[in-house]
């Protein structure tokens, strides 16, 4: 078992499968794009364990509470780890988290986007530790997100050189 998989198991964390797209929907792009030593991660949604979109839906500060949104951000993190493991083969290939762009669908006057995205950052630090898990971050308020999602996160990680190269 990989080091990170063992850590996930010790924390009782299970990664969801890829997003089950709603009928008729086409997303003509990959969830992760590897270029050289960088893996660029598309904007991800919170997912249920079966890969369906996880609620609650709506604007944070109005339809969704801060605590619910933090839980959603953590679910986004699990979804991203699932995508990265499927694409990379092993999460042990991640040498460093680099950039996290946290988007929160925000009701007028809601200004706690950093506290929401902490739900994601804390997961990454729990799983990867402070050195590998550290990341530059923004956490900001969007007018709308696809499917009425409360949180969407885009990210980038740096990979160890592939064996034999």
Residues of this chain that interact with its own copies (CB under 8 A) are 25-33, 35-38, 40-43, 96-101, 103, 105-106, 108-115, 118, 121-122, 125, 134-148, 152, 154, 158
Kindly list the distances between the CA atom of residue 40 and the CA atoms of 34, 36, 70, 124, 137, in Å, as whole numbers in the listed order: 6, 10, 23, 16, 15
Give the residue carrying structure tokens 């991640």.
94
Query: Are 66 and 112 a contacting pair, CB within 8 Å?
Result: yes
Residue among 1 and 11 whose Cβ is closer to its own copies: 11
Min. distance of Cβ 38 from its own copies in angstroms? 8
Residue among 3 and 138 whose Cβ is closer to its own copies: 138
1-29 in b/e burial notation, b at 16+ Cβ within 10 A?
A: eeebeebbeeeebebbeebeeeeeeeeee
Residue among 1 and 67 whose Cβ is closer to its own copies: 67
Residue among 89 and 144 whose Cβ is closer to its own copies: 144
- In the 8-state DSSP scheme, what is residue 146? G
Min. distance of Cβ 122 from its own copies in angstroms? 6
Structure tokens at 39: 């893996």
Residue among 47 and 100 whose Cβ is closer to its own copies: 100
Min. distance of Cβ 155 from its own copies in angstroms? 9
Min. distance of Cβ 88 from its own copies in angstroms? 14
Min. distance of Cβ 1 from its own copies in angstroms? 27
Q: What is the dihedral of CA 107, 60, 102, 18, to 10 degrees?
A: -130
């Amino acid at each position: 078992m990989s080091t990170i998989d063992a850590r996930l198991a010790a924390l009782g964390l299970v990664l969801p499968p890829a997003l089950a797209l709603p009928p008729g929907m086409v997303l003509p792009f990959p969830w992760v794009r590897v270029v050289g030593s960088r893996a660029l991660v598309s904007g991800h949604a919170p997912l249920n364990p079966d890969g369906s979109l996880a609620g609650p839906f709506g604007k944070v500060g109005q339809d969704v509470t801060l605590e619910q949104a933090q839980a959603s951000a953590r679910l986004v993190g699990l979804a991203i780890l699932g995508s990265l493991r499927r694409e990379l083969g092993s999460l042990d290939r991640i040498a460093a988290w680099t950039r996290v762009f946290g988007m929160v669908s925000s009701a007028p006057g809601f200004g706690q986007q950093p506290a929401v995205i902490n739900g994601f950052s804390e997961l990454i630090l729990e799983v990867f530790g402070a050195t590998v898990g550290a990341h530059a971050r923004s956490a900001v308020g969007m007018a709308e997100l696809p499917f009425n999602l409360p949180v969407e996160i885009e990210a980038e990680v740096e990979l160890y050189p592939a064996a034999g190269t």
